[in-house]
Amino acid sequence: MANLMLLPVILSFLILPFSAMALTQDFCVADLPRGDTPAGYPCKAHVSADDFYYNGLAVAGNTNNLFNITGTTAFVNQFPGVNGLGISAARADIGVGGVVPLHTHPAATELIFVTQGTIVAAFISSDSNTVYSKTLNKGDIMVFPQGLLHYQYNIGALPAVLLVAFSGPNPGLQITVSALFANNIPSDVLQKLTFLDDAQVKKYKSMLGGTA
């Protein structure tokens, strides 16, 4: 009998933690000004529809550069609404003859959708260096597994445009030639790393903005 009388008390203790857990959080729009932390961005207190909307991919990027490309990103830093949602986007404009040089996104798988033009896209496996290469036309998609080296280049007579989806809000980007030649790795070390000769190393350093 005493046990039965205690039942409501026991139940309330059992239910309380579960009801607290049941308060699911629909989203956590990144509060960018408060800064990133090891646990991620703090959540913005007051959100509106604008936090889940971004028009920065609507405009074609300028392709007047070494690779004749522009990547326009809608990562968490530009589009704080994707914070915590395991997704982000980008737009790639690849001018005629342009190339998105060999690169990786350490923190996300990538899916491209060609909205205009004709490109070749490929990734390289890490276990056997197998190249998985395809020609893509308007409407085609291709997926690049997380962390693997990949590249794209325009083989058409018109600029190519890709809509890009990533499986994380902050995919990261490391371009291989920049990692080698856009910094201060000494030329003699780069010769060892690449088998290139001194003149070639200096040429690439000067093209990519590295220091001797």
Ligand X SMILES: *[C@@H]1O[C@H](CO)[C@@H](O)[C@H](O)[C@H]1NC(C)=O
Alpha-carbon gap, residue 181 to 135, rounded angstroms: 29
Residue 65 touches ligand X, criterion: CB under 6 A: yes
Q: Of the candidates 85, 87, 96, 120, which one interacts with ligand X according to CB under 6 A? A: 96
Residue 95 touches ligand X, criterion: CB under 6 A: yes
Write the interaction track for ligand X spanning residues 179-208; mark x where CB under 6 A is met and - where it is not: ------------------------------
Question: Could you tell me if 11 and 4 are in contact, meaning their C-beta atoms sit under 8 angstroms apart?
Answer: no
Alpha-carbon gap, residue 52 to 79, rounded angstroms: 8
Alpha-carbon gap, residue 10 to 124, rounded angstroms: 59
Task: Give the interface size with ligand X as a residue count (CB under 6 A).
Answer: 8
Burial class, 34, CB count within 10 angstroms (exposed 0-12 / middle 13-18 / buried 19+)? exposed
Alpha-carbon gap, residue 73 to 79, rounded angstroms: 9
Residue 155 touches ligand X, criterion: CB under 6 A: no
Residue 64 touches ligand X, criterion: CB under 6 A: yes
Q: Of the candidates 52, 63, 84, 132, which one interacts with ligand X according to CB under 6 A? A: 63
Binding site for ligand X (CB under 6 A): 63-66, 68, 95-97
